[in-house]
Structure 1
Amino acid sequence: MKKLQFYLSGFLALQLVLATGLFWREHRQQEMQQQREPLLAVETGQIEKLEISDGDASVTLRKQGDTWLLPELEKLPANADKLDTLLEKLQGLRTGWPVATTDSSRERFEVAEDRFRKRLRLYTGGEKAVAEFYLGTSPGFRKIHLRSDGDDAVYAVELSSFEWPAKAADWLDKKLLAAGDVEAIDGPDYRLAKRDGKWQFDAGEAPLNSGEAEQLADALKNLRVSKLAAKVPEAEPVRVKVTTGSGELDYEFLQADEHFYVRRGDREQLFELSRSAFDRIAGVRNEQLVLEEKQETERTAGEEPTADSAAQS
């Protein structure tokens, strides 16, 4: 009996110890949660310049008005949506339990001043950075080790260093030549206009293959380039004029060997684009847009019968 009481007393004592430990652990976690502070102390809307380096290459992105530009790439527009999303991720990062705080850990996790995977410097307007981060090794899926300049603590945060390329070409806004909503298209041997929501030949001289016209308009609306062209080829351009709600856009498409290029009248630069994007616009001619008689017959046959024909049947 005494032995049973001894075991029960020990079991109760163990439960009390475990309960106390869990209580203090939960209390400490709540306390740390309340003490967590943002790693980026300024609002993203105040950021006007960003420098990214990987040790070998570097890129600068500078904000002008509401537009992010690439000074090293002829001041072309950067992919603002991508950058704003990443800055919001930075804004959401908080301090917590550090992975390490020693000097040796900086080297091991590659977040040291002279050894890092990526370094981010953010500016609000002056020449002194308001925030500087070192991005290092990855402890797991979509996580990296991060350290703020001037802080010994290394944190594991939900971020990826691959999202922060150090080359200007990787930040180029690939849709900078996209036409947007198209109202009329003047091609090499055709003229199309959109009336009452439907595409038709401007002069109405023939039935139009509306599917082909929609594909052409969509290709212009969402036109994407791949990169800035290194040189201007000697080739005869295919010219396409596009009318939008905000004005006219003049395009020139060129082909040299297996390379394809495009230029728009409001920009002096020449860009490369994919062959498929080139073919969807520069390869279109009148004969592809005309609805063949067979297609017209099949379309008419597929229409719902009139009241008279239904009565006869």
Structure 2
Amino acid sequence: MKRLLPLLTAILVVQVVLVIYCYSGGRQETGVGEPLVSLNTATVDHITIMDGDKKQVVLEKRKGKWILPDHSEVAADGSRISGLLEKIVTIKAGWPVATTSSAALRFHVADEQFKVKLVLQEKEKKTTIFLGDSAGARSAYLRLEGSNDIFRGNLATYDFPVDPDKWLDPSLVKLDKKEIVELQINELTLVREKDGFVLKDAGQGKTKKSVAANLVSTLAELKVDGVLGRKNDPSYKLDNPALLVTVKKKDGSTVEYRFAKDKKKKTDYILKRSDRKEYFRVALWRINSLLDTKRDDLLDKEKSGPAEKEKE
């Protein structure tokens, strides 16, 4: 019996290994070996993303900056694009999970049946990757064009939307708060002092500087949710805006923001900034404080000195 124990133990180990092997799909996932995609992320200058319905978005690198060439040539989110490219080149080529055309159809990584098709270009070189069904948390099945091998990759299809507005540079209309010396919001004017912004012509009232600071930050850190193009539409009604904000900067220059309600999307506003050619779409929640803050909201409601004496 004692002689059989080592043999039984060895058999048990083999069975455990076989169970793990079977449940992992019988193949090794990407994660070891050589990089699956041979790519120099610094020289990639053109990306086309297409979804299963053949809708697509194009990203292009010009003079070191990413733009959306078919979307008013507006700036794209370079940091996000660089991060995704780095993720692609870190995928390692282990054993494929499948190698047949039927599997490509089943996992949605076939030439004409896919969830996402990525075309990455470096001058003359082109790399095409098909992303398919989810293979787990933040991973998907993928296949390179010209190869039958299907792998699991550390990519998610939702990281590659075809809506161009999803790729906008978040700093498109941002301002450096340190450069702002005066902010006029319709009839309210905030001016910078040593310890923050105060309400101009407040009289004996005391400005709630936290409220004033929030208004400045709301405008300075504003993000847009879409680009409507460079052509003015009379329906925008920007000649009579719902909100007019004028920023005066340290260098004496001014920047004007005109906001009007979007007739098509009632929860959005249309924005035109005086120093930009584009017309933008901005969600209402981003500018609520600019729209709703009144003079009384900026003033401390504590009673003044004379009123206190009268009470005594």
Give the match for residue 48 of structure 2: 51
Alignment correspondent of 2:79: 81
Determine which structure has more spread, i.e. the larger CA radius of gyration.
Answer: 1
Structure 1 position 169, deviation (Å): 2.3
Deviation at 1:117, TM superposition (A): 0.8
Residue 233 (str. 1) matches residue 236 (str. 2): yes
Report the equivalent of 2:299: 290
Distance 1:33 1:222 in 2: 40
Q: Which runs of 5+ in 2 are unaligned?
A: 21-28
User: For the residues of structure 1 that align with 2:91 and 2:106, how far apart are their CA atoms?
Assistant: 22
Q: TM-score, normalised to structure 1's length?
A: 0.78
Equivalent positions of 1:1-313 (< 5 A) are 7-15=1-9, 36-55=33-52, 56-126=54-124, 128-129=125-126, 131-182=127-178, 183-184=180-181, 185-201=183-199, 205=203, 206-229=205-228, 231=233, 232-235=235-238, 236-237=240-241, 238-244=243-249, 248-255=254-261, 258=266, 259-294=268-303
CA contact (8 A) 1:121 1:132 kept: yes
**Distance (whole Å) between structure 1 residues aligned to residue 10 and residue 224 of structure 2:** 67
Aligned to 1:303: none
Residue 15 of structure 1 and its aligned partner are, at CA, apart by: 4.5
Deviations 1:166-218 (A, max 9, x none): 22122123441122325321333233222324222456745322122011011
Q: Which runs of 5+ in 1 are unaligned?
A: 1-6, 26-31, 301-313
In the alignment, is the contact (CA less than 8 A) between 1:181 and 1:245 conserved in 2?
Answer: no
Name the amino acid aligned to 2:90: G
**Separation of aligned partners in 1, 2:301 and 2:248:** 27
Q: CA deviation at 1:275?
A: 2.0
* Contact 2:31–2:92 (Cα < 8 Å) also in 1: no
Shift of the alpha carbon at 1:141? 2.5
Q: How many corresponding residue pairs?
A: 283
Call closer, same or farther: CA 1:221–1:18 in 2, change over 3 Å. Answer: same
Superposed CA offset, 1:25-82 (max 9, x none): 9xxxxxx999611122123222111111114201110012332100111011112232
Tell me the equivalent position of 1:305.
Answer: none
Over the matched positions of the two proteins, sequence identity in percent amounts to 24
- Deviations along 1:215-259, whole A, 9 cap, x unmatched? 101111221222223745125123322245676422112235534
Q: TM-score, normalised by structure 2?
A: 0.78
Cα root mean square deviation, aligned: 3.1
How far is the alpha carbon of 1:285 from its aligned partner? 4.5
